Structure 1
């Protein structure tokens, strides 16, 4: 018998091979079927009792609107008095009307805590919660957080209510199935399905962390839950992106990990209590990183340090925050969220890059809500030295700050720096947003008050091999770092 004859497969072996292949294909299809459920009916039946419709009513006083102004003694004065006297009167002496709005929400505890959006119940005089079984209960506001658009309500009931739990929104991955439930366009309870389209979206808020989904979300869905397939809430449906006002498959739900922290504080305190570091910051761009000699463009660049926790810990303008409480900081958005989510009064380690070296500062956080109206730190006054009155560089016309310019710019007597009096619109400085009236207070992370001082900083940057120089520019008291190229000079 030849070797070729011995290696040839028998009909029996071929049959076994085909059977194994068939079984493998069937298993693959079964796995795919598990990932793509044929129906959400069982899950919908489980979660529906905890989802609610919310109706609000607001009394709008007609007297609050504009009324005709008639000069005293005018021949029309008596006519308008008679007209007002004939108008129907409300309890307050002015005719009023009721305005209503619809939204959604969900129950998170058997004793009646309900989560919704702040914009659903804002300025409402009456709030009514309708449950899936048709029961309705009046609700009172426990607390609201406009920054995340979250509100916590409570209804009074003698029986245990069905409720849902928050899930971990950090585990929601792009492509995962999600379900949105609520009261779209006032049509009553409705379920829509889709996937997670994107994560960590920011719209306009300081603490934004939205899950983007193509599950249909329309007006009236606001405040309703976004569920994963385990029946856990991973988001609160808040906004849509649409040129028509209807769903086009771009909806946004505030991530549950953000909502849960807010809800816990609202339940405990009736308000939020966020950590406060006490700095003004901006992102580290590539040109800023090069101007500062940083190896990579990451972290949060401190532009100002008003009186507060960071100032007491020794932080300075020009520091780059690289780590906060053991977590690396990639950009300003991440730092703001981590600080806001940290307990008020906690002492944390903050690692900064200062003039090319790292330093560790211990900062005891304050409370942001208390410090919201804090006044920015004033600039240290520097003794003005004699020198030229005007200089053109970087496409800018620059003059030292004097009493006349102080009056024009409305800055205090302690302010110091160099005033931009004109900007070439073809210059890099103009492209980066520098405008006439801006005040340059630092160059190369050192304070400047004279043109000679600015020239010294430029010379130091060139000697260090820098391609650009970092300027701290203030406009109406607001600081911002700008990196301008040296090769243009």
Structure 2
């Protein structure tokens, strides 16, 4: 009996001890395990419109309406034979001996744009410069000999004429209205590939890239990314309406081929030059008579200008149109006839639309206050006369200005060339066709008017100095009485 009591007591103690142990563990040692159960969330999608899928511009009308009016211009020129001395030791013993190169024929090609149904064509001056023969090939492969009506190195524009009627032609568009990003087409004959059309956008306007080396050259190009290559020069830049807005002239390239940008003379300049060449045989260049520069941050700070805008006048030339109107040094030109100008290229473009004698409204800023002037533009001789090609005839001779190429080859900075010689004092004095007059009575001759003025004012004799196209110098003397 005692054994049962002892066993029961032991069981109760053990059970009690186990209870105490469990209680103590749960109270002082056990840590609850926290389990995070993610609550499933439904994802919400915003209903956004799909990215706009802009349709590509339809350029077929512009291409089809312009390609037949763009021509292939082929030129050839003869490089004159040059004479030079042989070994000087042989000359000492045997007298002068000359070696003579045979004349070489050079050929080139470019593009042109028909401007009227009766065959007037515009191209670049550098395409036809010094050409002896100019051929025009139409889009239908008909070929014509072209007559050079006139050329203007300052804008790199020339006008040709072929004897044909009912030709397709392009009308001038408004190049001033072109906007950045607007689609345009370049049409021409790159690499002898006739009737090639490329597309791009207007990348910039009034761009000056410093390639026109002619005296008083004008650069205010339309810059595009339409592909233009050698052979495109003189071709058309057209807008989406098929209107001529520029003449493709140059590319920016380190390789000689297209690498991204091309440049065109705007139609606003082309139209005026073409009209001048057709009417007068030469361009009527209007001048303000100022030395100008862009307004930069440095200029604005130096002259205390309140804004970086306009074109800064460094100097007003004496007896110029600007001086006559009252414009002064350090004035800033803001606009011409209401058109804002913020670069020298923009100012040149606006003035180049006019002829000597035209009156323009010039808004300037003086002491940071606006002031408007009416300016009567003048020509390079300081007057308002219109100069015609027929004015280049004097003393029985017809003259022409030297091309940049001729000046470079002969290392001349000025001069006029006799292109035709009839009876008169010059022929009697012994001058020949092709002779280049550089100085008369020790005064430099830059234009025919200079020659006329010096000779007309001469008292007694006239001394003419110059050289022939082969570089041989010569001088002549004759009397005016």
1:110 alignment partner in structure 2: 117
Aligned equivalents of 1:282, 1:42: Cα separation in 2? 42
Equivalent residue for 1:60, pick from 61, 75, 79? 79
- For 2:88, what is the secondary structure of its paired residue? coil
- Matches for 1:57-456 after TM superposition, within 5 Å: 57-63=76-82, 66-68=84-86, 70=88, 74-77=92-95, 80=97, 84=99, 95-157=102-164, 159-204=165-210, 205=212, 206-305=217-316, 306-355=318-367, 359-368=371-380
Alignment check: 8 A CA contact 1:211 1:235 kept: yes
Report the Cα offset of residue 164 of structure 1: 1.3
Report the Cα offset of residue 115 of structure 1: 0.9
Report the Cα offset of residue 58 of structure 1: 0.4
CA gap of 1:224–1:366, structure 2 versus 1, over 3 A, is: same
Report the Cα offset of residue 315 of structure 1: 3.1
CA gap of 1:140–1:174, structure 2 versus 1, over 3 A, is: same
Report the Cα offset of residue 117 of structure 1: 0.7
1:10 alignment partner in structure 2: none
Report the Cα offset of residue 281 of structure 1: 2.1
Alignment check: 8 A CA contact 1:196 1:212 kept: yes
Name the TM-score, length of structure 1 as normaliser: 0.61
Q: C-alpha offsets along residues 71-107 of structure 1, whole Å, 9 cap, x if unaligned?
A: 68623547x46xx5xx7xxxxxx73121110111111
Alignment check: 8 A CA contact 2:238 2:244 kept: yes
Report the Cα offset of residue 357 of structure 1: 5.5
Count of residue pairs the alignment pairs up: 332
Which has more radius of gyration? 2
CA gap of 1:173–1:330, structure 2 versus 1, over 3 A, is: closer
Aligned equivalents of 1:179, 1:358: Cα separation in 2? 40
Aligned equivalents of 2:350, 2:77: Cα separation in 1? 37
Alignment check: 8 A CA contact 1:60 1:96 kept: yes
Name the TM-score, length of structure 2 as normaliser: 0.62
- For 1:218, what is the secondary structure of its paired residue? coil
Aligned equivalents of 2:255, 2:91: Cα separation in 1? 51
Q: C-alpha offsets along residues 368-400 of structure 1, whole Å, 9 cap, x if unaligned?
A: 4768xxxxxxxxxxxxxxxxxxxxxxxxxxxxx
Aligned equivalents of 1:359, 1:196: Cα separation in 2? 34
RMSD of Structure 2 on Structure 1 (CA):
3.2
Alignment check: 8 A CA contact 1:325 1:349 kept: yes
1:15 alignment partner in structure 2: none
Report the Cα offset of residue 257 of structure 1: 2.1
Alignment check: 8 A CA contact 2:180 2:202 kept: yes
2:398 alignment partner in structure 1: none
- For 1:75, what is the secondary structure of its paired residue? helix
Alignment check: 8 A CA contact 2:62 2:238 kept: no
Aligned equivalents of 2:311, 2:247: Cα separation in 1? 29
Alignment check: 8 A CA contact 2:207 2:345 kept: no
**Gaps in structure 1 of 5+ consecutive residues:** 1-20, 88-93, 372-489
2:57 alignment partner in structure 1: 36
Aligned equivalents of 1:42, 1:331: Cα separation in 2? 35
